[in-house]
Amino acid sequence: MPLKNHGLTRRRLLCGLGAIPGLFSLTTLAVESAPPGSRGKAGNTEAVGQVVHEAVATSPDGSRVAFVQKTAGGWLIHLDQQRFGPYEAITPGPPVFSQDSRHVAFAARRDARWRVISDGKETGDFAGILQNSLGYSPDSKRLAFVVTEGKKVHAVVDGRQQQGYDSIIDGRILFTADSRRVAYAASVGRQQVLVLDGEEVPPRFDAIASRSLTLKPDGEGYAFAASQDGLWTIATEQGSLGRYAAILRGAPVYSAGGKLAYAARLGTRWLMVVDGKVLGQYDAIGADSLVFSKNGEHVVFAARSAHQWRVFVDGAPQQDFDALGNASLVVGASVNSVAYAGRLGNEWYVVVGGQRVGPYEAVLPGTPLVSPDGVSVLYAARSNAKWSVFMAGKAIGSFDAIVPGSITVNRSSSRLAFMAVLAGRPLIVSARKGADAFDVIRDTGLLIGVSAPRFPNQDTISYIAEREQAFRLVEVGLP
């Protein structure tokens, strides 16, 4: 494929803020090696400190960047052209953006007490805030997190602190898809219970399985794996379903239309149960492999019988493999976009819609992927020691490496982008679906593995580059 190279120039980016409470003014930032026509958004700091690569986030739409910096005077949070702090400490990890990219929140400590800062406003005064508990609702209008006070933990939803418990399982608070309702599982002494909209839902159980709580898409139901008297069940708003020796990790799961599926063990055999019907019995079922199609009409899972692994679509087996790729099973809008990676001997294959493609030396972890429209399958694979990305069956480039987790597609599913390495240099690669050429962006400040490229709009790529102890969000228009 011909390669288009976006050249590099030296430019200057001027940033400035007036006196805003809680913020520091910004100074002129010299920007090197920015592609022509690009725009930069950065927060710079006069105090030299360490930028924390593990604590950087871009907004879902790719238009905003937030990161953490440690200085001699304390911890700073940079958001677009604003700076917050200094603080005595922050919770590990990057700030959290809402789904609509308009809001951002983080937790920080000042004067030995913790508070949440959302859109620049401080909320609360707590002894502690649980790591990774901050989260916005799907409609981006509500914020929830978990705090500690004394020996108790509390959910805080919309700024209101709820009843205290001995623990909140996984430190995880869930919103329904319509954002109306809030749920979590909590510990009370030696028992555990579901809490829905701030109220306990009986009965209490001996245990609720980690990360098993799921909410029905219409907001009117729930399901989770729970144990009582040594046996496991699926607890729902309509009662308990079955008594089993074990429930598979990653279950139960709801379809878009509200069908409930789970895998459970009776004796030595694993059962796949969908809407109360057993689809089959197997020697093993792949943990976290249970997936519904986007339209909710098909259920797909991985299972083993007689030492061979197969993917099953609505209970019907596909091809035999010695092993299946970890978390590689994805489903688009129909059975034609069921895709996964499988190994036979030392060779890897990708199966798309029942058709096997390969062999390859390796398939990139975290792939295949399905485009937002549910039609195209993407994956990265290695042949002859070189890596390529494939979209709708077409190979894009030949590189020394593809960065895991970096493949992204715009909303219309017409373009993709990813990070690659060639001759020791990091690149951003973009291509139109079905095109024979691809574009390459070279930037000396490009950071490997910090954040994937994004599409703020259909024909613009944004990515993060490092400049003089600061992260910068660069936007490049594509031809």
State residue 265's pLDDT score: 97
Q: What is the pLDDT of residues 239-253, one digit of tens each?
A: 999 999 999 998 999
pLDDT over threshold 60, residue 393: yes
DSSP string of 31-95, one letter each residue? EEEEPTT-EEEE---SS-EEEEEEEEEE-TTSS-EEEEEEETTEEEEEETTEEEEEESEE-SS--
Residue range 111-121, pLDDT digits in tens = 999 999 999 89
Give the pLDDT confidence score for residue 130 in this predicted structure: 92
Residue 37 has pLDDT above 50, yes or no: no
Confidence at residue 301, expressed as pLDDT on a 0 to 100 scale: 94
The pair of three-digit structure tokens given for residue 71, joined into one six-digit string = 């200085």
User: How many CB atoms are located within 10 Å of the residue 195 CB?
Assistant: 20
Query: Who has greater pLDDT, 31 or 27?
Result: 31
Rounded Cα distance, 269 and 285, in Å: 10
For 42-53, what is each residue's pLDDT tens digit? 433 334 456 666
Residue 7 has pLDDT above 80, yes or no: no
Phi, psi of 171 (to 5 degrees): 55, 35
What's the pTM? Answer: 0.84
Give me the pLDDT at residue 469, please.
Answer: 63
Amino acid making up residue 282: Y
φ/ψ (deg, to 5) at 294: -60, -30
pLDDT at residue 53, as a whole number: 63
Dihedral angle sign, alpha carbons of residues 429, 432, 438, 440: negative
Query: Of the ranges 22-36, 216-230, 458-472, which one carries the lowest mean pLDDT score?
Result: 22-36
DSSP one-letter code for 88: S
> How many C-beta atoms lie closer than 10 Å to residue 254's C-beta?
20
Q: Which of 52, 46, 39, 36 is nearest to 13 (CA)?
A: 39
Cα separation of 409 and 62, whole Å?
A: 12
Over the stretch 412-459, which tens digit does the pLDDT of each residue have? 999 999 999 999 999 999 999 988 889 999 887 887 767 789 998 888
pLDDT at 474: 87
Write down how long the chain is: 479
- Cβ–Cβ < 8 Å for 255, 296: yes
Tell me what the pLDDT averaged over the chain comes to.
85
Query: Does residue 28 have a pLDDT over 70?
Result: no
pLDDT of 63 reads: 86
Q: What is the mean pLDDT of residues 401-408?
A: 94
Q: Which residues contact 41 (CB under 8 A, 6 or more apart)?
A: 64, 65, 80, 81, 472, 473, 475
The pLDDT tens digits for 135-168 are: 999 999 999 999 999 999 999 999 999 999 999 9
406-414: average pLDDT: 93
Q: Could you give the CA distance from residue 404 to residue 366 in angstroms, rounded to a whole number?
A: 7
DSSP state of 101: S
Q: Which of 263-267, 322-326, 403-407 has the lowest mean pLDDT?
A: 322-326
The token pair that represents 27 in the structure block: 């100074």
pLDDT (0 to 100) of residue 345: 96
Lookup: tokens for 427: 């690149």
In this predicted structure, what is the pLDDT of residue 267? 94
Tokens of 34: 């920015």
Residue 354: pLDDT over 60: yes
The proportion of the chain whose per-residue pLDDT surpasses 70, expressed as a percent, equals: 88
pLDDT score of 458: 87
Confidence of residue 361 (pLDDT cuts 50, 70, 90): very high
